[in-house]
Amino acid sequence: MELVPIATDAAPAAIGPYSQAIRAGGWLHCSGQIALAPGGAELVGAGDVAAEARQALTNLRAVLEAGGAGLDRVVKATVYLVDMADFPRVNAVYEEFFADHRPARACVAVAALPKGARVEVDAVAALAS
């Protein structure tokens, strides 16, 4: 099976030794996205978890589209939160992006995220056949 790295300028560049996503067979595995603006080094809406979630999901959508998928093809997402008290606000933003499509999801509390982010989201999507 060929592994194809995905990169797009419509989402922030990887901040470490990893790809924005990898296409493998009929699947697209997307790395976690935080609230960095494409081409930027600072968090969008830093400290406002809803604004951070919106930017992280916008970034995720851009990576999915670059890899030949979309939010409607996501089969599993994982949301990482520094503070579980932020769950209701992040969940409301998540619902804006996944209004009619409900992929499987996990939400995990973490001690910290890169760049001081409060939320990160990754996903696995099925590619169209």
- Max CA-CA distance within the chain? 42
Is 54 strand, coil or helix? helix
Q: What values do phi and psi take at 112, rounded to 5?
A: -165, 160
Distance CA 101, CA 5 (A): 26
pLDDT tens digits, one per residue of 57-106: 999 999 999 999 999 999 999 999 999 999 999 999 999 999 999 999 99
pLDDT (0 to 100) of residue 31: 98
Q: What is the structure's pLDDT at 101?
A: 94
Domain range for 85: 3-126
Look up the CATH number of the domain holding residue 22.
3.30.1330.40
Catalytic site residue from 24, 82, 107, 127 = 107
- Could you tell me which of 87, 96, 14 has the C-alpha nearest to residue 49? 87
How many structural domains compose the chain?
A: 1
pLDDT of residue 40: 86
| 30 is an active site residue | no
